Amino acid sequence: MTSEEILAQKLALTRKLWQKHRERLQQDARLRELLSLHQRAFQHAQEVMRQTGAEAFCARCGREGTSCCGEDMELHCDDMLLLANLLCGVSLPSKRTFPKGCFFLGEEGCLLRIRPLICRNFICPELAEFLGPEETRRLQESLEEEALALFLLGERIRSLTLKG
Ligand code: SF4
Ligand code: SF4
């Protein structure tokens, strides 16, 4: 099975689950709480990215076409993560913007509001060298809360969609 076929299957499953469980997911108070927790943690990590200079460094890399948001990275997005994005009002794309880019990469960067952990905590050797060990550690630590929120979100959505 090709990666395009795996992705198509995943998107179809996400749409099916969304159709079936949308109301239950939207009305769940604990899920709303976890989405807020995730967004606060995400903003905090973004702020640290700005302060350390990582944001500008990665943006330049993206403009030069060497970003790590490459083809097949979309396969790290499971149906729970995609459902969480639909809950946040994200419109999932119907086709790839860049032939060699991740399916979820748009003109202005990642289209997802809730992103896989691997996308968030990947620090390439060039970025690590630019940051130095102390700032690299600070950046990694800033992602801990988001990682926990992401895990809890996935578990909550899973338990709600398994109810039938
Ligand atoms: S982590 Fe490295 S490869 Fe990825 S966008 Fe940043 S600089 Fe580029
Ligand atoms: S950050 Fe977004 S666009 Fe980049 S690889 Fe991850 S999911 Fe794809």
- Residue by residue, what is the 3-state secondary structure of 42-97? HHHHHHHHHHHCHHHHHHHHHHCCCCCCECCHHHHCCHHHHHHHHHCCCCCCCCCC
Of 129, 102, 119, 128, the C-alpha closest to 46 is: 119
Amino acid 91: pLDDT = 96
Nearest ligand to the CA of 61 is 1
Closest ligand 1 atom, CA of 57?
7
Of 28, 13, 34, 21, the C-alpha closest to 114 is: 34
Going by pLDDT thresholds of 50, 70 and 90, the confidence category of residue 3 is confident
Higher pLDDT, 62 or 40: 40
Amino acid 129: pLDDT = 98
pLDDT for 163 beyond 80: no
Closest ligand 2 atom, CA of 68?
5
The pick from 14, 66, 68, 74 for probing ligand 2's pocket by mutation, whose C-beta has the most ligand atoms within 8 angstroms, reads 74
Q: What total number of domains does the chain contain?
A: 1
Higher pLDDT, 140 or 2: 140
Confirm if 75 and 7 have CB atoms less than 8 A apart. Answer: yes
Average pLDDT over residues 48-56: 97
Amino acid 21: pLDDT = 97
Rounded CA separation 111/135 (Å):
27
Phi, psi of 64, deg, nearest 5:
-80, 0
Parent domain of 77: 3-161
Report the alpha-carbon angle 123-124-128, nearest 5: 70
Each residue's pLDDT tens digit, 104-146: 999 889 999 999 999 999 999 999 999 999 999 999 999 999 9
Rounded CA separation 146/127 (Å):
20
Going by pLDDT thresholds of 50, 70 and 90, the confidence category of residue 4 is confident
Which runs of consecutive H residues, i.e. helices, occur in 88-143?
117-121, 125-142
CA-nearest residue, atom 4 of ligand 1: 68
Q: What is the pTM of this model?
A: 0.93
The pick from 105, 113, 117, 143 for probing ligand 2's pocket by mutation, whose C-beta has the most ligand atoms within 8 angstroms, reads 105
CA of 10 to the centre of ligand 1 (A): 26
The region, left, alpha or beta by phi > 0 then psi within -120 to 50, assigned to residue 124 is beta
Closest ligand 1 atom, CA of 130?
7
Ligand 2 pocket residue status of 82, Cβ below 6 Å: no
Higher pLDDT, 106 or 163: 106
- Identity at 49, one-letter amino acid code: M
pLDDT for 164 beyond 70: no
Alpha-carbon dihedral sign for residues 105, 107, 111, 116: positive
